[in-house]
A and B are shown apart, each in its own frame.
Chain A
Amino acid sequence: GAGVSQSPSNKVTEKGKDVELRCDPISGHTALYWYRQSLGQGLEFLIYFQGNSAPDKSGLPSDRFSAERTGGSVSTLTIQRTQQEDSAVYLCASSYGGTDTQYFGPGTRLTVL
């Protein structure tokens, strides 16, 4: 079946602008995660959604970052007033349950000029 998809694949924006990144998880997966990968670095946890539970936002680096998941499926990560240090690849992953293997999307490469 279809894997995790993300859009756009690339996003270039100017400092101070808002951006929205989209993630479509694998159908039936109840858990959804956002990670950030800076150039040459590991993956940094941002936020976790599981079913109808309140999301774990403990990894969000600042209040400029927010995410929502509508209808328990598609998720949008929003970065307000982007800064150059926000430039990174933003990866989404989903899993069938919270304890199961996470499958990653192709990522969105964000460049803030």
Chain B
Amino acid sequence: GENVEQHPSTLSVQEGDSAVIKCTYSDSASNYFPWYKQELGKRPQLIIDIRSNVGEKKDQRIAVTLNKTAKHFSLHITETQPEDSAVYFCAASSSPRGTYKYIFGTGTRLKVLA
């Protein structure tokens, strides 16, 4: 079945450094890739997304890159701040039989050390 692998599972960086989280998907038909941030005890919040007709998208300190050939996409956070500490989930939209469900990665716990 469809699968999304996410690495690393935990990531600690010094404040001001960059963080990179990588995901690989299996369904070559996937065409939408959102990233969610989930703070402790809160709902997942969309932070950035990318569609398969685009290779890169940037929003202030956050960027996402997509390599369709290799079937992987990455989240880049620059100039990290303590409030960036959270669990980040990648997802790939898989649409078998018209169901646009998300297949989520297992999450990356990011700790930004002050």
- A99-B32, A101-B49 known; A45 and B42 CB under 8 Å? no
Q: Which of B34, B99, B107 lies in contact with A101, CB distance below 8 A?
A: B34
Given contacts A104-B43, A104-B44, contact A42 B105 (CB under 8 A): yes
A71 vs B32: C-alpha distance when bound (angstroms):
28
B49 neighbours in A (Cβ, 8 Å): 101
Residues of B within 8 A of A50 (CB): 98-100
Q: Which of B33-90 contact A (CB under 8 A)?
A: 34, 36, 42-46, 49, 89
* Cβ-based interface call for B103 (8 A): yes
Residues in chain B near residue A33, CB distance under 8 A: 101-102
Q: Nearest A residue to B36 by beta-carbon distance?
A: A104
Q: Does A25 contact B (CB under 8 A)?
A: no
Q: Say whether A72 faces chain B, with CB atoms less than 8 Å apart.
A: no
Chain B residues engaging chain A, CB cutoff 8 angstroms: 6, 32, 34, 36, 42-46, 49, 89, 91, 93, 95, 97-107
10 new A-B contacts, CB < 8 A, other than A42-B6, A48-B99, are: A42-B105, A43-B44, A44-B104, A53-B98, A56-B97, A56-B99, A99-B32, A99-B100, A103-B46, A105-B43
Binding site for B on A (CB under 8 A): 31, 33, 35, 41-45, 48, 50, 53, 56, 58-59, 91, 95, 98-99, 101-107
24 pairs from A and B in contact (CB 8 Å cutoff): A41-B107, A42-B107, A43-B44, A43-B91, A43-B102, A43-B104, A44-B104, A45-B101, A45-B103, A45-B104, A48-B100, A50-B100, A53-B98, A56-B99, A98-B95, A99-B93, A99-B95, A99-B100, A101-B46, A102-B46, A102-B102, A103-B46, A104-B45, A106-B43
